[in-house]
Amino acid sequence: MSHEYQDFNSLKKDLDNRMGKTVSILKDEFSGLRAGRAHTSLLDGIMVDAYGSMSPINAVGTINIPDPRTLSVQVWDRGLAKSVEKAIRESDLGLNPMSDGQLIRIPIPPLSEERRKELTKVAGKYLEQSKIAIRNIRRDGMDAIKKMEKDNHISEDDAKRNENEVQKLTDDNVKKVDELYSAKEADILQV
């Protein structure tokens, strides 16, 4: 971590912020995992190859919900329809878009038992990525504390106390992502 901290409070605030962002990102990823109903956030994570760079799907068209089991994307530039269709098809959401010129219809399949298990696995993957991110942030914090101690900014006792606080912050955030996962899993498995 290139950031130099003079005191533990600024370090803790930064770690808390970064871990909070990780929890927030997981919430967003989970909102994209819909349990068999059309929801515009389902397509949030999809990036489309538009004019040589990757753009979020909502930057190239309007997403609508014509009925509870269908999403549609009204692409603003007809030339991007194929790219949008390809991006949706290649996402890990298991969707099969159908293009009608500039309008792409995406039927949301009812969730089979197999699809529910698949979505639970995807959610588990997101959970694991979040935990890794939180542990990496924790490691950054521990390294910064060791450096503060080495540079004589804090005593050995303060370093131990600070390390315990960073561990508590880590445990609290891991607990939050675990709770988010449990709620999402229940949502996915509910028939």
Percentage of the chain lying above the pLDDT 90 cut? 61
Q: Residue 34's pLDDT band (boundaries 50, 70, 90)?
A: low
pTM of the predicted structure, to 2 decimals? 0.66
Is residue 99 over pLDDT 60?
Answer: yes
CB environment 76-115: b (16+ within 10 A), e (fewer): eeeebbebbbebbeebebebebeeeebbbebebeebeeee
CATH number of the structural domain 40-107 = 3.30.1360.40
Backbone angles phi, psi at 47, to 5 degrees: -105, 140
> What pLDDT is stored for residue 188 in this prediction?
84
Is residue 150 over pLDDT 70?
Answer: yes
Q: Residue 142's pLDDT band (boundaries 50, 70, 90)?
A: very high
Sequence spans of domains, the chain: 8-31+113-189, 40-107
Taking only the tens place, the pLDDT of each residue in 39-92 is: 787 788 889 998 889 999 999 999 999 987 889 999 999 899 999 999 999 987
Class of the 8-31+113-189 domain?
Answer: mainly alpha
Mean pLDDT, rounded, of the chain: 89
40-107 matches 8-31+113-189 in CATH topology: no
DSSP state of 164: H
**6-15, 33-42, 119-128: the lowest-pLDDT one:** 33-42
